[in-house]
Homo-oligomer: A and B are copies of this chain.
Amino acid sequence: MPLGQRQGDKSESRYCGVESGFEPDMPRLLTRSLSSGFDFLLAPLVDPSYRPSSARAAGTESFALPVAASDLILSPSQWSSHVVGKVSAWIDLDSDDEKIRMDSEITLKQEIAWASHLSLQACVLPPPKSASCSNYARCVNQILQGLSNMQLWLRIPLEKTEPMDEESKVADHGGRTTDTWEWWNSFRLLCEHHTQLCVALDILSSLPSLYSLGRWFGEPVRAGILITDSFMTNARGYPCLSKRHQRLVSEFFDHSVQIVISGECRHNISQEVSNDNMHDSDNENYEGAIYKHPLRPYLDYVAYLYQKLDPIPEQERFEVGYRDFLQSPLQPLMDNLEAQTYETFEKDTVKYSQYQRAVSKALLDRVPDETASTTTTVLMVVGAGRGPLVRASLQAAEETGRKLKVYAVEKNPNAVITLHSLIKLEGWESLVTIVSSDMRCWNAPEKADILVSELLGSFGDNELSPECLDGAQRFLKPDGISIPSSYTSFIQPITASKLYNDVKTYKDIAHFETAYVVKLHRVARLAPPQPVFTFAHPNFSPKIDNQRYKKLQFQMPSDTGSALVHGFAGYFDAVLYKDVHLGIEPSTATPNMFSWFPIYFPLRKPIHVPVQSPLEVQFWRCCGPTKVWYEWCVTLPSPSPIHNSNGRSYWVGL
């Protein structure tokens, strides 16, 4: 039964599991766990005392693996919905002892084959015994090549303190901690980022530093195994977690990471007290007697944390389906948008009220109160679409008491039909002139005081706002105002293994040299964003050049450890007019605006950035006669190829 009802939460993390040891009476174990409120079992599939080398002697033809239970004892659907397999923990594929190594390899393959036979959704692999685990990785990699749908979750302790020799103990006053993320990183690099290779994190009483922890949110973490040792005890004797542990569990809930409770019961709570708690229906096991699961108090606490979460806001709920999903950026200049697309974007009231504020301020600056009744301001909306900026401008005029004449210039003939319909429905015939034309070639009958446009993409200039406005400013008065008046793009390095793998499925270089619009979610943001390109309008310089080049250096916080960079998240911020701005750069983002998701620039090969190393990145904006494109590369700590040379893979048509 899920941890609770949280509106809009359809994620896996509603389900909580419990780890168990080898148990030949699986039906009883499962019934007890499910009836105690757990949703699934993390359980060994095979008797841990089994060793192939000893079993072999008994004769192969009548040999059968000593499994906990067959698919006749539990049905395949029970197995696949309620059991995550646990590969025998004794295996050691990098042992110096060849017999152990051979036994380990055979067992690993047999257990995974059996788990596949049962159609399990996942199996947990025991943690590597040390950082050197290439033979383990090779064997897992072989298995992954032939695996149908099952995931393999490599178990990794979040923190690991190595036993120390006497000498260094004196120097360090304690154990030396190993960065276990490095274990995971080498393992997955050896397995070439296989999509079915994921992580299960063991959470102990001590947690690594904040930034170091943060890296995991860009990795395919599927489960957080809460060891009972990591719980504290509250005043009433119940288990509870430290603030930092609580925050981590909340983050897991938010990132579809399932919690598994594991270990001995460390808190002795009498059954009466426990009964007053949540989840106390269905508490019968299949023998009919009341059964109390020893780990139930921990589950209750985790459920309490889940139920304490704020409900998912409506906008967020709508966007859940877009999380970490690669979309091609719109090309509104080359393609005509559809009515539904216009309709969706028109609903962004925050955005249009910012525009209205900007136009109001510009009108007040341009026309003093004294001449308000006699002066008519000429305002041109370039790229009017179905008219939201026309509406915002007319509202600004009404609000400020200024007289306005509006030209609505639109190149999409279908949107023009809708604009005509709008003008008629609203009775704006005397205020608005519709122009069915591309702003870059329209011969305006008069010059404008204000030019209003909404041509910005997620990366600011990526929908060619600079080129369009350069073309349109021909009919702006020399002292005229452009809204927006300037905009800047930003980038930030991220770990994003899901996005990397999604790009990789296309099996070509072109997709690795393409920018995508993505609602970033399962990513680790490794350093604060930095500005890239800025454009200001109008730009009356004699020779306009919209090409740009920027070199940036990112420094990750010192306690991050090393990290893997899969690419860059891109954002923009725009000044509409004076202090009225609009943007998605995280530190200054306009609240509750939903028109733009970030943009993602991938790297063909993820870059490993060692501890304390700077990351140097270079971005170009290049312009040709028919298209504009970006090129990018990494130069430090090690050079990547230059991506998208000549815009061969990704470009925006003029």
Give me the interface of A with B, judged by CB distance under 8 Å: 60-65, 67, 69-73, 75-77, 79-80, 110, 113-114, 116-119, 148, 336, 338-340, 342-343, 386, 412-422, 425, 433-437, 442
Contacts and interface: CB of A to CB of B under 8 A. Distances in A.
B79 A339 contact: yes
A573 to B, nearest CB: 31
A417 B340 contact: no
B422 A72 contact: yes
Contact of A62 (B65, B71, B116, B434): B434
Contacts of A343: 71, 75-76
A436 B63 contact: yes
B62 A436 contact: yes
Given A60-B436, A64-B413, A72-B418, 11 more contacts: A61-B435, A62-B433, A65-B413, A65-B417, A70-B418, A71-B339, A72-B386, A80-B340, A110-B413, A117-B339, A148-B338
A151 to B, nearest CB: 15
Contact of A340 (B61, B119, B425, B433): B119
B339 A119 contact: yes
A140 to B, nearest CB: 19
B117 A415 contact: yes
A425 B61 CA distance: 20
Nearest to A116: B338
**Residue from the set A117, A336, A342 with the largest chain B CB neighbour count within 10 Å:** A117
A76 B340 contact: yes
Contacts of A336: 113, 116-117
A344 B77 CA distance: 11
A105 B549 CA distance: 45
Contacts of A435: 61-62
23 contacts: A60-B437, A62-B436, A63-B416, A63-B436, A64-B420, A70-B420, A71-B386, A72-B418, A72-B421, A72-B422, A76-B343, A77-B340, A110-B413, A113-B336, A113-B413, A114-B414, A114-B417, A116-B336, A117-B339, A117-B414, A117-B415, A118-B339, A119-B338
A338 B110 CA distance: 14
A507 to B, nearest CB: 13
A110 B412 CA distance: 11
Nearest to A74: B339
A148 B339 CA distance: 13
Contact of A417 (B70, B77, B412, B421): B70
A436 B61 contact: yes
Nearest to A66: B417
Contacts of A418: 70-72, 117
A63 B336 CA distance: 17
For the complex of A and B, the 3 pairs showing the least CB-CB separation, nearest first, are A70-B421, A117-B414, A71-B339
A148 B330 CA distance: 13
B113 A414 contact: yes
A372 to B, nearest CB: 30
B117 A437 contact: no
Given A117-B339, A338-B116, A436-B63, A421 B73 contact: yes
Contacts of A110: 413
A437 B114 CA distance: 17
A575 to B, nearest CB: 32
Contacts of A422: 70, 72
A67 B71 CA distance: 63
B72 A425 contact: yes
Given A72-B421, A417-B65, A338 B436 contact: no
A168 B343 CA distance: 59
A346 to B, nearest CB: 11
Contacts of A119: 338-340
A213 to B, nearest CB: 37
A275 to B, nearest CB: 37
A67 B450 CA distance: 32
A116 B79 CA distance: 47
A462 to B, nearest CB: 21
A340 B148 CA distance: 13
